[in-house]
Amino acid sequence: MTTDTVLDVRDLRVAFGPVEPVRGVSFELRRGERLGLVGESGSGKSLTALAVMRLARRATLRGEVLLEGRDLLRLKPREMEKVRGGRVAMVYQDPMSALNPVYTVGRQLEEAIRLHTRADRRAARERAVELLDDVGVPHPRQRVDQYPHEFSGGMRQRVMIAMAMCADPAVLICDEPTTALDVTTQARIMDLLDRLVEEHGTAVVLITHDLGVAAGFCDAIQVMYGGRIVERAEAERLYRAPVHPYSEALLGAAVDLSLELGVPIPTIGGAPPLAGELPSGCSFHPRCPVARDVCRAELPALEPLSGRSVACHLAAERAATFEESDVPV
Amino acid sequence: MLGFVVRRAATSILLLVAASVLVFVILRLLPGDPIITRLGATAGANPEAIDQLRREAGLDDPILQQYLDWIGGVLTGDFGQSYFSQFSVTDLIGRRIGATLELTAVSILFSLLIAVPAAVFCALRRGSWLDRLVTTGSTVGMALPQFLLGILLILVFAVELRWLPARGYVPFVDDPGENVRRMVLPALTLAIAAAPLILRYLRASMIEVLDSSYIRTAEGKGVPHRRVVVAHALRNALIPGLTMLGMVVGYTLGGVVIVEYVFGIPGLGSLAVESVFKRDYAVLQSVVLLISALFILTTLAVDLLYGVLDPRLRNGGARG
Amino acid sequence: MASPALSLGARFSARRRAPRHGSRTTIAAVTVLALIVLLCVVGPWLAQDPSAIDNANRFASPSGAHLFGTDELGRDLFARLVDGGRISLAIGAGATAVSMLLGALWGFAAALGRGLLDELLMRLADVTMAIPQLLFALVFVAAFGASTAGLALIIGILLTPVTARMVRSAVLGELQSDYTQAALAYGATRTRLVLREVLPNISAPLGVQAAINAANAIILEAALSFVGLGVQPPEASWGTLLQQGYQKMYLSTTGVIFPALAIFLTIWMLNLLADQLGGTDDLRGRAG
C-alpha cells in the first residue's frame, strides 16, 4: 500500500448467517483512480459497496477495509457515521426513491453539508444552492426549496451526486447510477460524474453491469462472479483481451448492433449461482465453455499475470492464445 | 391547498348536519311521549298541565319546526331546555364537558406516549422476543373491551392495592392533586385500550419505512442513528398512522361513555346515559350531537394535518 | 365503542386471502367457543337454580358446592353465569344474523346499483359511522326500549353499516374479476351472478366479518347491560351480572371476575377466529 492509496480492501467477506455472498474480495484504489466493478445480478458487487460503507444490515463483515489508513470495520458506529458521507460517499441506483419525500431537497442537502463541514444554516443553504448549480440543476435558487417529487429522475440523481460530493470525499462509490435512467440522461449523468471527479480528484468505484458505461469511464475494471473477483485489468486491456472465460462471455454478450439479423445474440447459458448454492471448485465451471476437471475440483486463486489478475486455472494458456494472435495482453 | 381545506370542511359540516337529522329522527320515532313518562308517576295528572308542558317543550310543533328550533339554538350556543331538570341543556353540558375533554385529551396523550415509543422499539427490533411479546400482548389487549379493562384496573389498583381511588372526579381548578389522582385510572383505561391499535399500525408502517431507499441514503450521509429513526423514519411512518389517530379518537370518544360510568366521572358520557334513563331527549340529542361533532372535527383535523405533513398532497399531487 | 381495529382488519381482508384452515389456533378458538356455547345451552339444566337465594352463603368463595362462588344473595354464580350466557350469546347471535343479512343486502345493493344508489347508501353509512357506536346504541335504546329481541335488533342495526361497507368492497372486487365478466358475457343475469358466483366466493371475508360482528355484538350488549340499559331484570346477561358484581366489588371480587372472564374469553376467541379466517399478516414480522 503506497501513500497514494485511498482505499485498500483486504479479503472482505460478507455473510448472512451461513450464506456468504461476498467471499474474499481484495482491491486497492489510488487517489483519483476510477475502478469499475462489473458483473451480473447476484455477483455480490452491490453488497461489496454496501459493505465498504457498512450499510449492509444484518450482515457479518470480515476482513479489512482501509480508508486512508483507517480500518472502517473496526470503527465504532459513531465514528463510522462521521466517515460516511464525509470521506467516503455513495450514489445509489434508484434516484426515484432515494430522497426523503417529506423534506425539501435543500433541507436534505443542508443536512449532509452540516454533518461534515462547519457551516451554519445560512452558509449551508448557500452551499446547497452552489452544489445544485454545480451538478447542473437549472434555477437552483428556486429548486432548492422544492420537494423531491417535483424533480425528474435525472434531476434527482444529480441531487444525489451533489449530496455525495458535498464534503469532497476521497472515495465515491457509484452503484449503478444510471441504470434507472433513460439513455440520454445516462450519458449526461456520466459526463457530470466525469467532470466532478476530475475536478476534485476523487477516487471512484463504479458498479455497473453495463460494459459500455464502464469502458467509457473507468481506468481499470474488476469482474465479479460468485462473490469473488475473477479478473482485474486496465479497461482497455480487458476489452481487447479478456482472459477469464466469464469476462470473455460478458463481452461477447454485449449486444453488438453490427451483428447480422440471422445470427443469434450470444448469451451465457445457465444462470448465476445463488450465494447459498455455489458449485464446487470454480463457481463458473457449470457455465464455462472450456471447463476442465481441475475447475470442478479446486477454487482458483486470483493470481497476477502480466500486469493483470485472473482467477482461472487456464489463465496462462488463454493469455498465451491471445499473445499468439498478436494481441497484447 | 385551500380548495382541499374548503372541500373537507364542507363535507364535515354536511356530515354533522346529516348526523343531527338522523339522531333527531330516531328519537322522535319513539312510541311513548317524554312528558307523559315524566308525569307518569303522578297518576291522573292534570291534562292541561300536560298540554302546557308539551307546548313549552315545543312537542306540539311539527317535526321540522322542532328540528330547526333545536339546530338554530345549537348554532347560537343554546341547546334547549331539559325536559326534566330546571337547568338548560347548555348548563348541563357546560358543567360536564370539562371532565370529558380532560379525560379524552389525557387518554389520547397517554396512548400516544405508550404506543409510539413501543412501536418504534418493536420495529427496530423486529422479530426479537420483546417484539413478539408486545405484539401478542396487543392482540390480547384488543380483545379486552374498555369497560372490562377499567374494571380490571379498579380491581387491582383500587380494591386490592388501594393505591388509587376507584371513582369520582374533582375539577382541576379545585384541587389539581386530587384531579390527577382520579384521572389516572380512567385515562389509563382508555389509553391502554387504544394503544394496541396505534401500535400495530405504526409498527407496520415503521417497518415498511425503515426498508426504504431514503433511509439508506440518510445512513449513507452519515446521519446519526437516532436522527435517522426519528427525523427520517418516524416522520414518514407517522403519515399513514394519522388515519389511525382519527380512529383512535373516535374509539376513545365512544369509550368515554362507558368509562365515565365505570369511574363515576360526571362528564358528557354519563350525562348521556342518565338522559336515556330519564327519557330526556332534549339532553340526549344535544349530547350525542356534541360528541359526534368532536369526532367529526377530529377526523377533519387529521385530514388537514395530512396535508401539512405530506407535501406530496399539497399541490393536489397523488400520494406515494 | 366496538374495536375499530377489527373493522380495519375486516377492510383489509375484503381482499381475498387464503384462510388458514386447520391451524392450531383456529381449532383452539373454535373448541373454546363451542365449549362456551355448550355450557350455556346445556348448563342451566345441569347446574343449580340461578335464582335460588341462600342468605346464609353470601359472597362465598369458589368451592365444590359453588364452582364460582355465590353473589350477594347467595345465588350460585356459575349457574347465573351459564344462564346469563344464554341471553348474551343469543343476543350476540341474533345481532350478528341481523347485521350480516342487512349488511349484505345493503352492500350488494350498493355494489350492484352503482352510481346514485351506491353514493346514497354509502353516504348513509358514513353518517351512521360518524356517531360513536355506544352513543348511537343509547339513542336507539332511548327510542325503542330494551327487550332481548329488541337489543338483538338494535345492535344488529348498529353493526350493519360497517358490514355493508365490507360487503360492497368485496363484491366490487369480485365483479372486476375475470370469471364474473365471463359469466356476464355468457348471458348470466345479475341475480344469478350474485347468488351462484359471487356469494360463494366472498364467503371467507363474510365469515371474518361475522366473527368480528359477533365479538362487537357481545361487547355492545355487555356494555349496555352494564350501564343498566340493556337486558332488564329479572333476566340477567353477562353484562348485568358484571354490573351486579361491580356494585359489590369491595366485598367480593369473584362476582366481577367471572362474568368479566366469560365476556373476555368469548371475545378473544372470536377475534382469533376472525384473524385466522382472514389470514391477516403475522404480527411477528413482515417479509422484506
Mark yes or no for CB contact C143/B136 under 8 Å: no
Q: Give the pairing type, strands A19-30 and A70-71.
A: unpaired
Q: Residue A18: is its pLDDT beyond 80?
A: yes
Shortest Cα–Cα distance, B171 to chain C (Å) = 24
Using an 8 Å CB-CB cutoff, list chain B residues near A54.
none
Mean pLDDT over C115-140 rounds to: 85
DSSP assigned state of A203? E
Which of B5-19, B50-64, C6-20, C175-189 reaches the highest mean pLDDT? B5-19
Interface check for A79 against chain B (CB to CB < 8 A): the answer is no
Mark yes or no for CB contact B225/A163 under 8 Å: no
Chain B residue with the nearest C-alpha to that of C281: B204
Q: Residue A254: is its pLDDT beyond 80?
A: no
Q: Residue C286: is its pLDDT beyond 50?
A: no
Judged by average pLDDT, the poorest of A169-173, A242-246, B41-45, C198-202 is B41-45
pLDDT per residue over B1-39, tens digit each?
677 788 888 888 888 888 888 888 888 776 656 666 555
Mark yes or no for CB contact C142/B152 under 8 Å: no
pLDDT per residue over A221-231, tens digit each?
999 998 999 99
Mark yes or no for CB contact B143/C215 under 8 Å: yes
CA separation for the pair C221, C233 (Å, rounded): 14
Q: Residue B69: is its pLDDT beyond 90?
A: no
Shortest Cα–Cα distance, B312 to chain A (Å) = 7
Residue B315 is predicted with a pLDDT of 55
Mean pLDDT over B188-207 rounds to: 90
Q: Residue B317: is its pLDDT beyond 60?
A: no
DSSP character string of chain B: -HHHHHHHHHHHHHHHHHHHHHHHHHHHT-SS-HHHHHHTTSTT--HHHHHHHHHHTTTTS-HHHHHHHHHHHHHTT---B-SSSSSBHHHHHHHHHHHHHHHHHHHHHHHHHHHHHHHHHHHHTTTSHHHHHHHHHHHHHHTS-HHHHHHHHIIIIIIIS--S-SS----TTT-HHHHHHHHHHHHHHHHHHHHHHHHHHHHHHHHHHHTSHHHHHHHHHT--HHHIIIIIIIHHHHHHHHHHHHHHHHHHHHHHHHHHHHHT--SHHHHHHHHHHTT-HHHHHHHHHHHHHHHHHHHHHHHHHHHHH-HHHHTSPPP-
Reduced to 3 states (helix: H, G, I; strand: E, B; else coil), residue A150 is helix
Using an 8 Å CB-CB cutoff, list chain B residues near C132.
250, 253-254, 257, 291-292, 295
Interface check for C285 against chain B (CB to CB < 8 A): the answer is yes
Sheet of A5-16: strand order equals: A19-30, A5-16, A60-67, A70-71
Mean residue pLDDT of chain A comes to: 88
pLDDT per residue over C37-92, tens digit each?
888 888 777 777 777 777 777 777 777 777 777 777 778 888 888 888 999 999 99
CA separation for the pair A172, B7 (Å, rounded): 49
Residue A266 is predicted with a pLDDT of 67
What sign does the dihedral C169-C170-C175-C177 (CA atoms) show? positive
Residue C143 carries which side chain, given as an amino acid letter?
Answer: A
- For helices C133-144 and B268-277, the axis angle rounded to 10 degrees is 20
Residue C247 carries which side chain, given as an amino acid letter?
Answer: Q
Residue B42 is predicted with a pLDDT of 55
From B214, B223, B236, residue closest to A115, measured CB to CB = B223
Interface A:B, Cβ pairs < 8 A: 70
Residue B222 is predicted with a pLDDT of 92
Chains A and C touch (3+ CB pairs under 8 A): no
List A10's β-bridge partners, or say none: A64
Report CA Rg, chain C.
Answer: 21
Cell numbers of C75, please? 345465588
Reduced to 3 states (helix: H, G, I; strand: E, B; else coil), residue A305 is strand
DSSP assigned state of C70? B
pLDDT per residue over C267-281, tens digit each?
999 988 888 887 653
pLDDT band at B280; cut points 50, 70, 90: confident
- Enumerate residues 122 to 161 of chain B having a beta carbon within 8 A of any beta carbon in chain C: 126-127, 131-132, 135-136, 138-140, 142-148, 151-152, 154-155, 159-160
Q: What are phi and psi of A56, to 5 degrees?
A: -85, 105
Confidence (pTM): 0.78
Mean pLDDT over B71-87 rounds to: 76
DSSP assigned state of C253? S
Cell numbers of A55, please? 450499510
CA separation for the pair B149, B241 (Å, rounded): 24
Q: Give the pairing type, strands A171-175 and A88-91.
A: parallel
Percent of chain A with pLDDT over 70: 94
Q: What are phi and psi of A216, to 5 degrees?
A: -75, -20
Residue B245 carries which side chain, given as an amino acid letter?
Answer: L
Peptide bond into C234 cis (omega under 30): yes
Mean residue pLDDT of chain B comes to: 82
Contacts of residue A326, defined as CB under 8 A and 6 or more positions apart, other chains included, come to none
Mark yes or no for CB contact A163/B214 under 8 Å: no
Q: Which of B94, B111, B105 shows the shortest CA–CA distance to B253?
A: B105
Percent of chain B with pLDDT over 90: 17
Instruction: Give B44 or B182, the one with higher predicted confidence.
Output: B182
pLDDT per residue over C13-30, tens digit each?
334 445 555 578 888 888
Interface check for A81 against chain B (CB to CB < 8 A): the answer is yes
Q: Which residue has the cell 322542532?
A: B66
Interface check for B298 against chain C (CB to CB < 8 A): the answer is no
From C4, C143, C223, residue closest to B147, measured CB to CB = C223
CB of A93 closer than 8 Å to CB of A176? yes
Judged by average pLDDT, the poorest of A17-31, B269-283, C153-167, C186-200 is C186-200
CB of A56 closer than 8 Å to CB of A68? no
Q: Residue C285: is its pLDDT beyond 60?
A: no
pLDDT per residue over B144-177, tens digit each?
888 899 998 888 888 888 888 878 887 877 788 8
Q: Chain-centre distance of CA B143, in angstroms? A: 19
Instruction: Give A132 or B252, the one with higher predicted confidence.
Output: A132
Residue C210 is predicted with a pLDDT of 93
From A83, A98, A149, residue closest to B217, measured CB to CB = A98
CB atoms within 10 A of CB A50: 22
The 3-state DSSP composition of chain C as helix, strand, coil percent (nearest 5) reads 70, 0, 30
pLDDT per residue over B213-266, tens digit each?
999 999 999 999 999 999 999 988 888 777 778 778 888 888 888 899 889 899
Reduced to 3 states (helix: H, G, I; strand: E, B; else coil), residue A15 is strand
Q: What are phi and psi of A30, to 5 degrees?
A: -95, 165
Q: Residue A301: is its pLDDT beyond 80?
A: yes
Q: Residue A170: is its pLDDT beyond 50?
A: yes
Mark yes or no for CB contact A101/B312 under 8 Å: yes
pLDDT band at A205; cut points 50, 70, 90: very high
Residue A265 is predicted with a pLDDT of 66
Residue C1 is predicted with a pLDDT of 40
Residue B158 is predicted with a pLDDT of 84
Residue A2 is predicted with a pLDDT of 60
CB atoms within 10 A of CB A299: 17
Mean pLDDT over B191-218 rounds to: 91
pLDDT per residue over A26-78, tens digit each?
999 999 999 999 988 878 899 999 999 999 988 999 999 999 989 999 999 99
Subunits next to C (3 or more Cβ pairs <8 Å) are B
State the complex-level ipTM. 0.85
Mean pLDDT over B59-70 rounds to: 76
DSSP assigned state of C74? -
Mark yes or no for CB contact A97/B214 under 8 Å: yes
CB of B240 closer than 8 Å to CB of B206? no
From C5, C142, C260, residue closest to B284, measured CB to CB = C142
pLDDT band at C187; cut points 50, 70, 90: confident
Q: Which of C1, C279, C8 shows the shortest CA–CA distance to C165?
A: C8
DSSP character string of A41-91: TTSSHHHHHHHHTT--TT-EEEEEEEETTEEGGGS-HHHHHHHBTTTEEEE
- Enumerate residues 103 to 122 of chain C having a beta carbon within 8 A of any beta carbon in chain B: none
From A86, A101, A149, residue closest to B222, measured CB to CB = A86
Q: Residue C192: is its pLDDT beyond 80?
A: no
Residue C116 carries which side chain, given as an amino acid letter?
Answer: L
Residue C282 is predicted with a pLDDT of 34
From A90, A98, A147, residue closest to B214, measured CB to CB = A98
Q: Residue C134: is its pLDDT beyond 60?
A: yes
Q: Which of A117, A206, A207, A93 shows the shortest CA–CA distance to A168?
A: A117
Residue B114 is predicted with a pLDDT of 92
